[in-house]
Amino acid sequence: MSEPHALIAGAGIGGLSAALCLARAGWRVSIFESAAVLEEVGAGLQLSPNASAILQKLNVIERLRGFSLTPKSIRVRRARDGATLSLMPLADAERRWGAPYLLIHRADLQRALLQAVAEEDAIRIHAGVAVAGFASGSDGVVAALRQGLLRLEASGDCLIGADGARSLVRAKLLGGGADSASFIKRTAWRALIDANRVAPEALRPESCLWLGREAHLVHYPLRGGAVVNVVAVLDESEAAPRPEEDWSRLGDPAVLAARFSSWHKAARSLLAAAQDWRKWPLIDRDPLPGWTAGRVALLGDAAHPMPPFLGQGAAQAIEDAAALGEALQATSDVPQGLAAYAAARRERADRVQRESRAQGRIYHLSGPAAFARDAALRALGGERLLARYDWLYRVRRN
């Protein structure tokens, strides 16, 4: 009997991780990616232990050696005066949670995943081919494909929609339109700044979170300290941007400087050092009523887009991939395996989605509520604050 065959829509971090996990589970995999060129884009990612443990097993972490940075702490600072509200020690992270906590560039992670995929005979990537629809039956699934003007088909034993927050597979599976995720009226402004343009404190091997009124700022060094990744998140009043503007909108530094004019000078001078800002509209969606139907399942942002306030978008996609591989290895009944995958993952992903939202609300408090938050952060101390992430970061051993 030949090995089962999975079709995957999307070669993002979720789709590539899923392909590797399925190949390990004995599946043949065809990935269809609508983009003609697999561009390695994006900015910094905080890769938490719950995800790095999975990438270690897939031999992806070792490919990131020299590109990743292990932070020694997470520092929380107050916007107006730069006071440190909390210092969470990460030196012990690997022992505490079971795998390293890493800072990486998204492009480096995607390249490492692509290299691992290229070495797997069982996986084929078809770039420039979009999944346009599907028919799922009792014996298999047929995906309708579009390559330019060509209309093609591919058949397999299951279809995994790893096609991102505006997932077509999700829209066809559950209805609601590909664009039903909503803009949360916040934008993330992102920049990479050369190390020689920033103050030495921005190069400390730590992840730094600044909390201010209706805004927060995150920065950390990347690529062995050659650059600093900066993300400034702002509340916005403007309407939702058009989908095609994602990732490509240039931000006006003067607008950013005005919004941060009351912040401590260390934050202002870091923002002023950036040469090129990109604006990223943040989107979110309520947890879905289901992730699977028959031989089709959703994974990653297609299943659970979330704001980045817990830094878990990529990590949760990687957790999905591991759970999918385990579930399909455990049974030859594909619909049952997909249902088991969703059952294993939904509660946790829903919680991460909810807690990401809650974190975002806490970050942007102002007035007495911000004062109370800051006092609580100080009273709690770094070690006890760190313990609040145990549920999220601790590696699951199966």
Residues serving a catalytic function are 220
Closest approach, Cβ 223 to ligand FAD, in A, equals 13
Backbone angles phi, psi at 236, to 5 degrees: -130, 150
**Among 218, 245, 369, which Cα is nearest to 307's?**
218
Which of the ranges 12-20, 85-93, 269-277, 367-375 carries the binding residues for ligand FAD, by CB under 6 A?
12-20
Angle, CA of 93, 94 and 95, to the nearest 5°:
95
3-state secondary structure of 232: strand
**Which amino acid is it at 164?**
G
Residue 364 and residue 216 in contact, taking contact as beta carbons nearer than 8 Å:
yes
Could you count the other beta carbons within 10 Å of the beta carbon of residue 397? 6
Closest approach, Cβ 372 to ligand FAD, in A, equals 29
Residue 220 and residue 208 in contact, taking contact as beta carbons nearer than 8 Å:
yes
Which of the ranges 7-15, 62-70, 91-99, 237-245 carries the binding residues for ligand FAD, by CB under 6 A?
7-15
Residues with Cβ within 8 Å of 57's Cβ and at least 6 positions away in sequence, in order, are 322
Which of the ranges 37-45, 83-91, 204-212, 269-277 carries the binding residues for ligand FAD, by CB under 6 A?
37-45
Out of 55, 130, 192, 193, name the contact with ligand FAD by CB under 6 A.
Answer: 130
**Among 250, 257, 203, 200, which Cα is nearest to 234's?**
257
Q: Of 12 and 221, which CB lies nearer to ligand FAD in the complex structure?
A: 12
Residues with Cβ within 8 Å of 364's Cβ and at least 6 positions away in sequence, in order, are 211, 212, 213, 214, 215, 216, 235
3-state secondary structure of 13: helix
Out of 4, 71, 156, 164, name the contact with ligand FAD by CB under 6 A.
Answer: 164
**Among 317, 327, 326, which Cα is nearest to 353's?**
317
Closest approach, Cβ 100 to ligand FAD, in A, equals 17
Out of 58, 141, 168, 211, name the contact with ligand FAD by CB under 6 A.
Answer: 168
Closest approach, Cβ 384 to ligand FAD, in A, equals 26
Q: Of 10 and 337, which CB lies nearer to ligand FAD in the complex structure?
A: 10
| 202 near ligand FAD, judged by CB under 6 A | no
Closest approach, Cβ 299 to ligand FAD, in A, equals 7
Residue 158 and residue 295 in contact, taking contact as beta carbons nearer than 8 Å:
yes
Task: Name residues contacting ligand FAD, limited to 275-314 (CB under 6 A).
Answer: 300-302, 308, 313-314
Out of 20, 22, 23, 43, name the contact with ligand FAD by CB under 6 A.
Answer: 43
Beta bridge partners of 284: 182
| 117 near ligand FAD, judged by CB under 6 A | no
| 156 near ligand FAD, judged by CB under 6 A | no
| 338 near ligand FAD, judged by CB under 6 A | no
DSSP state of 250: E
Out of 13, 181, 217, 334, name the contact with ligand FAD by CB under 6 A.
Answer: 13
Binding site for ligand FAD (CB under 6 A): 9-15, 32-35, 41-45, 106, 130-131, 162-164, 168, 247, 300-302, 308, 313-314, 317
